């Protein structure tokens, strides 16, 4: 399958949105697959796997033509979520926007050096920088000419910093999900709920 890869340093699975970026042909934009919420994955994965997505030179070209549906997830579906857009588990307030615009607005696209991305296709893999050079040579163009023309989707943050932030967001979501599972377990069997009481006094030595 096209547009799929992983980061060499961390092994994180990524979706390659743009293989190069304007004025920086040795960098690309990717999505950390594990950072996507179920709602987002349900939208993006079918677009990735669709004939149009697979035939697109860059997946971002296809995502820029598709509208992001309104997120009907509520706080009840995602325990601990809020409407605050700065909250890592915020409920998306999606207006009429493209999928690509949504990814950019949510900071889900990560800038990575192309040498750090392994493009996987079944059992084979190749570094993205080597793939880009091969494509440029095949087309008879410069590497810079493979870049998208619209720079508005360029990630401004350092790639390692953004990746670390995404890891923390995933960790926070996991903590929330764990607390939710605990509460559900307690509702099924109240005897498992920790007892609240005063701590026992330490007996004074005689």
What DSSP string describes 118-187?
EEEETTEEEEHHHHHHHHHHHHT--GGGGS-S-GGG---S-HHHHHHHHHHHHHHHHHHHHHHHHHHHHH
pLDDT at 4 (0 to 100): 92
Determine the Cα–Cα distance for residues 159 and 113; give it in Å rounded to an integer. Answer: 8
CA angle 160, 65, 130 (to 5 degrees): 45
The total number of structural domains that make up the chain: 1
Band of residue 104 on the pLDDT scale cut at 50, 70, 90 = confident
In a domain, residue 132? The reply is yes
| Residues 75-97, mean pLDDT to the nearest whole number | 44
Task: Check: CB of residue 20 under 8 Å from CB of residue 60.
Answer: no
Kindly report the pTM of this predicted structure.
Answer: 0.62
How does residue 198 score in pLDDT terms, banded at 50, 70 and 90?
low
Q: Which domain holds residue 124?
A: 4-190
At 109, is the secondary structure helix, strand, or coil? strand
Q: Classify residue 203: in a domain, yes or no.
A: no
In a domain, 201, yes or no: no
Task: Provide the percentage of residues in the chain whose pLDDT is more than 70.
Answer: 69
Element (H or E) spanning 117, and its range?
A: strand 117-121
pLDDT in tens, 61-78: 899 888 887 544 433 333
Q: 134 or 124, which is more confident?
A: 134
**Can you say whether the dihedral through the CA atoms of 142, 59, 159, 96 is positive or negative?**
positive
pLDDT bucket at 105, cuts 50 / 70 / 90: confident
Residue 59 domain flag:
yes
CA distance 91 to 117: 30
Mean local confidence (pLDDT), 32-37 = 90
Please name which of 92, 96, 72 lies closest in space to residue 83, comparing C-alpha atoms: 92
Band the pLDDT of 169: cuts 50, 70, 90.
low
Residue 205 placed within a domain: no
Q: What is the mean pLDDT of residues 117-128?
A: 85
């Amino acid at each position: 399958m096209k547009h799929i890869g992983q980061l060499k340093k961390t092994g994180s699975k990524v979706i390659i949105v743009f293989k190069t970026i304007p004025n920086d042909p040795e960098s690309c934009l990717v999505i950390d697959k594990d950072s996507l919420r179920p709602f987002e994955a349900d939208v993006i994965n079918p677009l990735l796997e669709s004939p149009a997505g697979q035939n697109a030179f860059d997946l971002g070209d296809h995502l820029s033509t598709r509208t992001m549906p309104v997120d009907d997830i509520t706080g009840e579906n995602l325990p601990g979520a809020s409407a605050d857009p700065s909250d890592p588990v915020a409920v998306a307030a999606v207006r009429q926007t493209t999928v690509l615009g949504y990814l950019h607005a949510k900071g889900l696209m990560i800038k990575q050096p192309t040498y750090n991305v392994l493009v996987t296709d079944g059992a084979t893999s190749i570094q993205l920088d080597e793939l880009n050079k091969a494509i440029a040579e095949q087309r008879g163009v410069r590497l810079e000419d493979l870049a998208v023309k619209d720079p508005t989707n360029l990630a401004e943050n350092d790639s390692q910093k953004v990746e670390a932030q995404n890891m923390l967001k995933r960790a926070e979501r996991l903590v929330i999900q764990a607390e939710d599972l605990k509460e559900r377990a307690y509702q099924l069997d109240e005897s498992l709920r920790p007892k609240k009481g005063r701590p026992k006094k330490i007996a004074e030595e005689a």
